[in-house]
Structure formats: structure tokens, C-alpha cells
Amino acid sequence: MGIRTGAQYIEGVKSRNPEVWLAGRRVSNVYEEPVFQAPIHQIAKLYDLQHDPKVQEKITHVCAESEERVSNAFLVPKSYQDLEARRGTFEEFAKATYGLMGRTPDFLNVVVTSMASNSEFLDKYNPEWGRNIRNYYKYIRDNDLFLTHAIINPQNDRSKASHEQQDMYTHLGAVKETPEGLVVRGAKMLATLAPITDEVIVYSFPGFKPGDERYALAFALPIDTPGLRIICREAMQDGKRSVYDHPLASRFEEMDAVLVFNDVLVPWDRVFLYNNVEAANLLYPKAGIAQQPAHQSGVRGLIKLQFATEVACKIADSIGVDVYLNVQNDLGELVQSVETIRALLRVAEYEHEVTASGEVMPAYAPLETIRGLLPTMYPRAIEVMQIIGAGGLLMSPTDADFENPELRGDLDRYYVGKEGVPSEDRVHLFKLAWDLCGEAFGQRLLQYERYYTGDPIRKRAIFYNNFKRKDSFELVEDALKIYDTKNELINN
Ligand SMILES: Cc1cc2nc3c(=O)[nH]c(=O)nc-3n(C[C@H](O)[C@H](O)[C@H](O)COP(=O)(O)OP(=O)(O)OC[C@H]3O[C@@H](n4cnc5c(N)ncnc54)[C@H](O)[C@@H]3O)c2cc1C
């Protein structure tokens, strides 16, 4: 089939009845549920983009193997040009959602592509695992599927390993093997957009200890597999909020959910790893799934930061406060943050690494630097927006107020911005800013930037330890060489 349209994606959503729980009730029809309507349509727009003649060549290619047009997210990069082509898809998808939706289909499509192209690592443990992930890659590529993923165990007692938790199946683990497949039980903590996806893939960060064998798992399933329960967090919008009052929150909320597996059967051909602590701990580094998806996250993060920066600049301009040095200093800082991330992305692409199999990966150090910087740069952009918007962020009336002729005169007089900025435009802009920097929707976006791919503190510590392992501190060693062992000057 190759690239799907938005309508085909929606047909898929309508054809399924996953077990989704929202605010104490079982959702009877995911497509009809108001909370899911806007995100479903945002994702459908992305599928339609693949058919838009203006960008189709930029974001898709004809696959040599299937001879069908597929997303560039399924490309195994073999050159710098391939990285550019893949960046094209990330960019267009991120621009369509202002970078506010992190788990658009391109993200996990890259993860699975990378797992499949590096599956020799799995072959060494079990040739069936390698074959399964390669077949799964072809399946999602040729059917253009949308995946969610669930990596993290529930936050119960982080000081204990999985096998030491109160209950043997608090963390998702294997219960038994059957001729048909593996039966799994327990929970995974967070799967963004799960209710409206086609499939879920489960794997884990490294960190398994001896005794954790039953939890060392990687597999994929259709999202409506019997026994798989999706428990949504409280929604931040009801699907009925005004687009004028909440220009972002009304459209771009990504639902997050806990996945509970009640003795779910995973067919053997969907098992990618099982009962092997060593393989599970090596999955991230050996399958390229830290590096390749970080390219998507970096591009998306750049667009989100750019968007927040533009919003901060525009609110400052709309009320004439960007004539002040302190405001210019804050805004200049945000623009420099954007430029930093942009530069790091280019360095990651130019200084790419080539694996033994010829796969091109954006360079590790600049990508990890982006990962380290965004969790402070994005919250800082939000803080600057709050500081510049000040009390104005809290004085916005609603679209209903604007429609009331009795109020309209006051609104047009007292809510205008600087000359040339009418009240309705100023209020709309400030509402957009409040969605980002005040609403629960915006707080989630901030939390996402901190934690979307693990704990940034531990990630930076791993980065430092890798640096220390590889770097010989040549400059310091050289500087120390000016004295010989007798403490005599040997050069200047
Ligand atoms: C909005 C959002 C969307 C997400 N979407 C997804 C998704 O789609 N799929 C998915 O799989 N995951 C998703 N995640 C989950 C994300 O991967 C985790 O939040 C992240 O890995 C951090 O883990 P945690 O939340 O369990 O925090 P914890 O690991 O519990 O950390 C809590 C605190 O304790 C500290 N801490 C905990 N353990 C240690 C330790 N061993 N050493 C030192 N300090 C420690 C941390 O520094 C942190 O401050 C999402 C998260 C967010 C916020």
C-alpha cells in the first residue's frame, strides 16, 4: 500500500475498538470521543501531507524493495543526503503541529527502522528475534502504520529492581510460554497517543539486573489486542473548547496513558527479545535507537523552541515592551537558544558516523548536547513568555465577550495593543501564549521536553562518562609536559 491518506488512517481508527478508559468510563467509540477528535484530525493531516504535491518529494521516497512510495522516516540512511531527506519529513511534520506533538508517526517509524537495520545484534542471541523485527519493519512501512511505545515501568519503588517490587507483575513481565506465543502481565507507565494509534511497541531502557529475566522483553501488538487496557490520564480539554480561546490546547493535546496487560498473548512472530538481561541492556546502544530517533526529537524540539520564541517576541512587540533593554536581552537569549540547537543539528548531520553495515547516523555528541540543553532552554522560553506577558496573560476575556455588543466597545478600547494591534488580535495572541505558558496543556509540554526520552540528569551523566572514557585530556597532558621529572623546564 505505501503512504496512507488521512482518511485511510481514520478508517483504521474507526475499525478498531481498543479497551480505552477515560475519566472512569470505557470509551465506546474512540473516533467519536470528543477528547480524541482534534488529535485524530491532526494526525490525519500529517498522513495527507504525504500526498501534497508541494512536499511529497521532500518527505517521501519510492522504496527500492517494495517499489511503493513510503515516508522518509522508513529510510535507512546511507549518506548525508539521506539524513537531509529524513530531516525533511521531521521538519514538515513538526511544522504542521508547531513541534507541540512529539509522538507523531515519524518518531516510532524511525525507532523500528533503526531496530530492523541493526537487527544483526538480535540475530546473535536468537535469529528469530532479528527476523521478526525485520518483518515487522516491512509490515509497518508497507502499511504506513502509526505506533505508540511504552518503555517505562510504573513509578512504584524506583530504588528496587523489577523482580524486587511488591508484586511479581507490577512491572510488565512474561507469565508463560504457549505454542502460540508469550503471555505477558503487568503495566508500562506511559504511552503517548495510545488510544488513537494502530500498534504499540514495548521495549525498555537499559538497567536490568540478574533476576529481571522475565521483564527483559521487546514486542509489538495491535493496539486493540484482547487484554490490553489503556488507562488515560485526566484530559486537559474536553474537545469542545473554543479555538479562539485556546488556539493550541483545543487542537494539539496528546493524550498519555498507562498500559495494563492482563495476560495478553504476544504471538511468537511479534517477539523481538525475551528472557535475556544482557540483550535487553544492549538494545539501546546496539540498535541505534538512542541516536536515530534523537534526530527526529532534535528537529521537532528546534521547531517547538522556535515557535515559543516567536510567541514571546510577538507578545513583546504587540504591547511595545521590546524597546526595553531587559526585554531585548531576554528575547535575544531565546533567539540564541534557537540558533544553538539549529547549529547542533547541522553539526550532528555533517559529522555523521557510519556503522560497519554502512548506515549513517547523526553524530552522538551534538545530539546528546541538544538532549541536555532543551530541558533548560524550553522552560526558560516559557519563563520569558510569562515575564514579558506579565498580568496581561491573565486579563483575556473570551470570544463570547467579544460577541456581546454591550461589551464590545470596552473591549475594543481597553484591550488594544500598541498602535495597529486591534483588541481581538492582541487577546487572541495572549491566549495562545497562555496555552503555552499557563494552561495544564502548556505544563505538559514543558514536562514532555524534560522527560520525553528519559531522565535528563542521568542522560547527561552517561554523556559525561562516555566523554571521560574516550577523551584523553590531551591539552592538559600537554600543558603538564613542560617540566620533566626533575622539575626542569623542557620547553616553553
Ligand atoms: C509528557 C510525557 C510523555 C511521555 N511519553 C512517553 C511515551 O510515549 N512512551 C514512553 O515509554 N515513555 C514516555 N514518557 C515517559 C518518560 O520516558 C519518563 O518520564 C522518563 O523516562 C523519566 O522516567 P520517570 O518519569 O519514571 O521518572 P523517574 O525515573 O521515576 O525519576 C523521578 C526522579 O527521581 C530521580 N531518579 C529516579 N531514579 C534515579 C536513579 N536511579 N538515579 C538517580 N536519580 C534517579 C530522577 O532524576 C527524577 O528526578 C513520557 C513522559 C512525559 C513527561
pLDDT for the residue 468? 87
Q: Ligand 1 centre and the CA of 204: distance in Å?
A: 12
Q: Ligand 1 centre and the CA of 150: distance in Å?
A: 12
Please state the atom number of ligand 1 nearest to the C-alpha of residue 205.
21
CB of 159 within 6 A of ligand 1: the answer is no
Atom 30 of ligand 1: nearest residue by CA position: 155
> Which letter does DSSP use for residue 180 in this model?
S
Reported CATH class of domain 6-286: mainly beta
| The domain over range 291-474 is classified in CATH as 3.40.50.970 | no
pLDDT for the residue 483? 65
Task: Give ranges for CATH 2.40.110.10 in the chain.
Answer: 6-286
pLDDT for the residue 453? 87
Task: Give ranges for CATH 1.20.140.10 in the chain.
Answer: 291-474
* Per-position b or e across 313-339, b if 16+ CB within 10 A of its CB: bebbbbbebbeeeebeebbeebeebbe
Please, which residues have CB within 8 angstroms of residue 479's CB and are 6 or more apart in sequence?
none
pLDDT for the residue 207? 92
Convert the pLDDT of each residue in 397-443 to its tens digit.
Answer: 999 999 999 999 999 999 999 999 999 999 999 999 999 999 999 99
Look at the block and give the residue holding cell 522518509: 72
> Which letter does DSSP use for residue 234 in this model?
P
Cell of 95: 511544522
- The total of other beta-carbon atoms located within 10 Å of residue 138's CB is 15
pLDDT for the residue 481? 82
Convert the pLDDT of each residue in 64-111 to its tens digit.
Answer: 999 999 999 999 999 999 999 999 999 999 999 999 999 999 999 999
Handedness of CA 448, 454, 458, 464 (dihedral sign): negative
Residue to mutate, 101, 152, 208, ligand 1, most ligand atoms under 8 Å from C-beta:
152
- The total of other beta-carbon atoms located within 10 Å of residue 411's CB is 17
CA 449/CA 377 separation, integer angstroms: 9
Angle of the 80-96 helix axis to the 291-318 helix axis, nearest 10: 40
pTM of the model: 0.96
All residue ranges of the chain with pLDDT < 70 are: 483-492
Question: Which class for 290: exposed (0-12), middle (13-18), buried (19 or more C-beta within 10 A)?
Answer: buried
CB of 151 within 6 A of ligand 1: the answer is yes
Please state the atom number of ligand 1 nearest to the C-alpha of residue 450.
53
Look at the block and give the residue holding cell 529481571: 212
CB 63 within 8 A of CB 109: no
pLDDT for the residue 486? 58
CA 416/CA 316 separation, integer angstroms: 14
CB of 256 within 6 A of ligand 1: the answer is yes
CA 98/CA 445 separation, integer angstroms: 12
3-state helix, strand, coil in the chain (%, to 5): 50, 15, 35
Atom 4 of ligand 1: nearest residue by CA position: 452
